[in-house]
Structures are given as C-alpha cells and as structure tokens.
Amino acid sequence: MTARGVRAGVAACTITACTITACIVLASCSVIPAAPSGLPEAWVPSVSPSAIPSESAASDFGYTDAESAAVRVRNVGCDGLSTGSGFVLDEHTIVTNHHVVASTGRLEVTLSDGTDVTVTASKYGTNADFALITTEESLAYAVTLAEADAETGDSITVVGYPEGGVLQVSEGVVEGADFDTLDKASFVQVTTAYAAPGSSGSAVYNEAGEVIGVLYAGSSATDETMIVPLSLLKAFLTTPAFQVDNPPACTPAWL
C-alpha cells in the first residue's frame, strides 16, 4: 500500500493556543484554554525514528479490561503542553508513542479511574514510534499481547483519549500494510478506526481483547489511521538495544 495523504510538517499544542497546519502530531490534544480552529488533513509524529474486547464490567467503574488499562499522558514539554494516550503493560510500565514523550520537561499520567501516578523514567524506541513510561505506584489492569499481527480484514478496537477528552472506544478494520512510514518502522498497518489528536499511544485490540498494535497517526483526508504492529512492539519490548533513555529535555520556565 502506498502512502496516504499529506505527511509533512508538524504543529504542536501549546498551553495557550494550538496552531493547525496541514499536518499535526496525534499527541497534540485539547488545548488550554483555546480549542483547535479546524481539522487538520493529517496527524503525524513529530519524531522521525464491532465488539468491545470484553462485554462485561471489569472494574468498579463499569469499565472493560481494555478501558481500565487506558491512561492519559500529559507532556509538560519544552514547547508547551500536549497530551496523548497509553496503556498499562505491567505493574509499573505504560506503553505509548515516542512522539508523545519527546521534548518533555515533565510527564504526567492519569489512570482511567482519575488517579494521577508519578512518572519515574521513560524510554523511547529506535525501531518504531514506541515509548515506555515507568511509574512509582503499582498499576493494575495490564493488557494481554496477541500471538501475531492482525491481518487485512480483521476487526479491531482502539481505546484512548482523543483530543485529551473522555475515554473513547472506536472500532474499525485493518485495510492493509503501508511501507512508507513516518518513523523507523519497517511497516505499519492502515485501519478505518476513528482517532484524533490525543489518540497517539492508544492500544489497538483484536476481537479477543488482545493488543495487536499501537495507534500512532491518522489522516482526516482519508479517514484512515495508522498503527505500529504487534511484531514491532514485541521486538521493542524484548530488545534492550532498541530502548533509549528519555530524560527531561528542558525545564520550562512556567513549571
């Protein structure tokens, strides 16, 4: 599959305003206090490198396991405030995108129940647009990784926080592979699931409720979204050489 839509240029969401250009990072989200003036044609990373998974309530809040595992990530960064999504991998680890945690001054994480947890460290991937966030507090509701990548035609579910707002679940299908990627990934998969700025880092599930990828970009021009597949995520998680420390890049004057 060839590249879809315009894939050049980036605009970041600052604490006071959000400038929309032809392309914008998915990590850019709802803005404080002003809202975006219009829809971009595409969302892209700023770094170059029909069922809900469970129909029964899995928590005191009535969330499924997938919804309970979702987290909101705030990047109090060098260029302003932006938000993205992520999901709990294990007791102290959250998965998100590299571009969600890039150029950070401080990372803040809120769990699906509204609890804020303390970030102690983060790492980013060199094989694709991945990042790991380590927390001081113990986390519950870890996800299950699938055995293999999704195939063309498979139904998927995306769980995250588009526009930095409320938790949303969207459904779609995998349309195929795309080899013209925006980072160092060898390939990504194109889907029809809904996403918006702020959805970056959302877990993507198969019909069994297992993670088959991480959402990282999308295009409003084609209503398509891109996910980094499970095989690359597993390689990132199991290969220390693919993991690079991501210390704070600045101390914003307004912190």
Mean pLDDT across the chain? 82
Span 65-142+236-242 CATH architecture: Beta Barrel (2.40)
Q: Is the pLDDT of residue 183 over 50?
A: yes
Residues of the chain with CATH 2.40.10.10: 65-142+236-242, 155-233
What pLDDT score was predicted for residue 9? 28
Q: How far apart are CA 146 and CA 68, in angstroms?
A: 18
pLDDT tops 60 at residue 27:
no
- Say yes or no to pLDDT of 151 above 60: yes
Give the model's pLDDT for residue 219.
86
Write b or e for each residue in 10-49: b if 16 or more Cβ atoms lie within 10 A of its Cβ, otherwise e: bbbbbbeebebebbbbbbbbbbbeeebeeebbbbbbbbeb
Q: Which class is 155-233 in CATH?
A: mainly beta
Could you tell me what percent of the chain has a pLDDT over 70?
75
pLDDT above 90 coverage of the chain, percent: 68
Lowest-confidence range among 6-10, 67-71, 167-171, 248-252?
6-10
pLDDT per position as a tens digit, 73-123: 999 988 889 999 999 999 999 999 999 999 999 999 999 999 999 999 999
